[in-house]
Chain A
Amino acid sequence: MMIEKNEDNWLKIDNAGLIYPSASSEKWNNVFRVCAYLKDDVNPDLLQQALNIVILRFPNFDVSIRRGVFWYYFQSLKDFPIIEEEKTYPCRRMEINAKKHLFRVLYYKNKVSFETFHAITDGGGALQFLNSLLCCYFNLLGKNINEKELEYSYKDKPSIEEVEDSFKRFADGSGTTKRLFRHAYQVHGTPEQNGKLDVITAVLSTEKLHKIAKEHNATITQFLVAVYALSIINYKKLTIQKKRPVVISVPISLRKYFGSKTLRNFSSWVDIVFDDKNKNANLDDLIDIAKEQMSVINKDYLQKNINMNIKTEKNFFVRIMPLFIKKIALQLSYKFFGEGSYTTVLTNLGKVSVPSGFENLVDRYDCLLCKSIINAINIGVISFNDKFSITFTGAIREHNIEKEFCRMLKNFGLDLVIYTNIK
């Protein structure tokens, strides 16, 4: 029996998600993907059944975006989402005004992908949804996975904490961070046609990578940031924008710092800046810089970031500005003060935590960021069992930075297997 859904509910968009619908244009919006490669091919009928069950558990995903006079808001939907076979390139622009779900569940051979508009959730939330969907799918296949081991079991009832705007809950007005605007170095190249996204995934051993990072007294994220920075600095030497710093923006999930259970956006970021004076630095120097700049990440720093975000949202003039003016202002500020202030994004979703039994059914996970308005390439990393996946996504045809990055990892004795959609 099909369950009737209520379409009368609506939600305010959370603080971090506010920027995305406003910054969307007819050519671009921020859609990212988390996907899992199963050990067997996907059964579409069962996947659809699983989605119909899981969507009722996650009401904050079961929405479309609508325009108010001053802000966008989420409106719940009556229709059930439909899975699609993957036929084109990943992270394709999503039509946000179409009164449709703001996510896609795609299947291709043995892969299940969950693509979502960033206003709905961040990487952590998307991964939880995907894991619940997979768990339900496996159980429909008769694999008997214990769904209680999931952080958000699809058999539980949704709770208020899961749909709350944690930014508002945790803002305490105790002080804000100062945002310094800088023009960061931007990688340029020949754009891909029709917004196609080039994807290169390097899969390597988590254990070996961890060992190498440890030899350099760094975490995996710090080590990868340094390797990535060195690749970009080497590439930058060939270009004319020599004075601008290389800035790598690293998103940080705030859930573990504040004990939040929200499935909506609740992340901040730290910018790691590599000045022009670091142009002849070696990898160890860059690791030191990454470590030093990432050492500011503590609850106090993140609290100030949250306060800063909320202060901007609560600004009287921002609030009373009609949406069409706000959209123009936010589009410009996102382009120049947002993406213009960093070179690239490196997001690490960390080790995927799954119920026991998943390891026999899932091979690996990937995380794909969308192409940006200005930034040419981005990296998403994620690990599952001993498979560490580093995915470069970009909209330019040159792949020198990816090549340099992979060459450096090879020099540490790491074996890489490459997957791509580039012909």
Chain B
Amino acid sequence: MLHCDKCDVDIKDNINNCPLCGRDLDNKTQIQSFVCYPDDKIWISKRNILINMLFFISIIGVVISIFLELLIFKRIWYNWYVITGEALFLLAIIAPLKFRWSFSAISLIDSLTICSYILFLELFTHSFGWGLNYAIPMFLLFCTLYTTIIIVSRNYYQGYDFVVCLLVLAILSTAIFLYNLLSGGIMWPSLVTFLTSVTCFIGFLIFKFKKVKAQIEKKFFI
């Protein structure tokens, strides 16, 4: 056991300096070892470093792109695609990685962001008629089928977490179907999606009522 003359305390660990005052303990052995703690390795998350690098590179890319457009065209027009693309990248890829969202939450957020991006492209390019009529309903149909498969094969990722995802998809599909119905747009894609998602959700509600109820209860309790 070592002793610090200045603090007048005994020190169990075989270290060179007093932890209180920093005085040299005249440790003859000069081998540092701790009685109670391992010779700790500093914990650095490589995952976080990678995510931060991705974030940094993407931001730098956007800034360079805006700078070049300003320099060449003296305006920002094409870069709206880059800026919204960057927002999509942050929401759909960086945020889930950084905050470790659950697989169901990632699926839901990614579905919503991709739908929003399609809507943005349709509105921004003034090329109406493809997004709300075809692209979004078909994408939602894909998401609905994919979510349903995961819930059915429930060993994967605690499938019933996806019930809320399916509920949101059903609500979204209904809203798009109603929009197309009222605005006189192309009906069949949104009708197929609406029927599929609502049928799937009601099907789970009927056949797996207890599980769906419990899932909704715990996700929505106030």
Contacts and interface: CB of A to CB of B under 8 A. Distances in A.
Nearest to B210: A8
A202 B9 contact: yes
Contacts of B102: 66-67, 97, 99
B36 A194 contact: no
5 contacts: A70-B222, A399-B19, A417-B10, A420-B15, A421-B40
Contact of A108 (B37, B101, B105): B37
A420 B221 contact: no
Contacts of A10: 214, 218
A195 B48 CA distance: 14
Given A87-B38, A410-B7, A416-B9, A68 B221 contact: yes
A88 B40 contact: yes
Interface residues of A, number: 53
A90 B34 CA distance: 13
A89 B218 contact: no
Interface string B182-222: 00000000000000000000000000000100100011111
A97 B101 contact: yes
A200 B41 contact: no
A67 B100 CA distance: 11
A390 B221 CA distance: 42
B53 to A, nearest CB: 15
Interface string A197-234: 00111100000000000000000000000000000000
Contacts of B19: 200, 399, 402, 418, 420, 422
A202 B7 CA distance: 12
A89 B38 CA distance: 8
Contact of B7 (A12, A88, A403): A403
Contacts of B16: 423
Interface in A73-95: 73, 75, 86-90, 92, 95
Given A12-B221, A70-B222, A86-B37, A98 B100 contact: yes
B12 to A, nearest CB: 5
A342 interface: no
Report whether over half of chain B's contact residues are helix, strand or loop; otherwise say mixed: loop
Contact of B11 (A68, A95, A99, A420): A420
B33 to A, nearest CB: 11
B100 to A, nearest CB: 4
Nearest to A10: B218
Nearest to B164: A69
B122 interface: no
A156 interface: no
B221 A71 contact: yes
Contacts of B116: none
Contacts of A111: 36
Given A67-B105, A407-B7, A92 B43 contact: yes
Nearest to A414: B9
A202 B11 CA distance: 9
B21 interface: yes
Q: Which of B36, B41, B221 has the most CB of A within 10 A?
A: B36
B158 A7 contact: yes
A410 B12 contact: no
A69 B220 contact: yes
Contacts of B17: 423
Contacts of B10: 415-418
A86 B220 contact: no
Q: Which of A69, A89, A200, A420 has the most CB of B within 10 A?
A: A420
A418 B214 contact: no
Contact of B9 (A37, A66, A75, A406): A406
Interface string B9-38: 111110111111100000000001011111
Contacts of A12: 221
B220 A89 contact: no
A92 B34 CA distance: 18
A320 B222 CA distance: 6
B9 A418 contact: yes
Contacts of A423: 15-17, 32
A98 B101 CA distance: 8
B99 A417 contact: no
A95 B19 CA distance: 30
Nearest to A410: B8
Contacts of A66: 102, 218
A418 B12 contact: yes
Nearest to B100: A97
A97 B222 contact: no
B98 interface: yes
Contacts of A108: 36-38
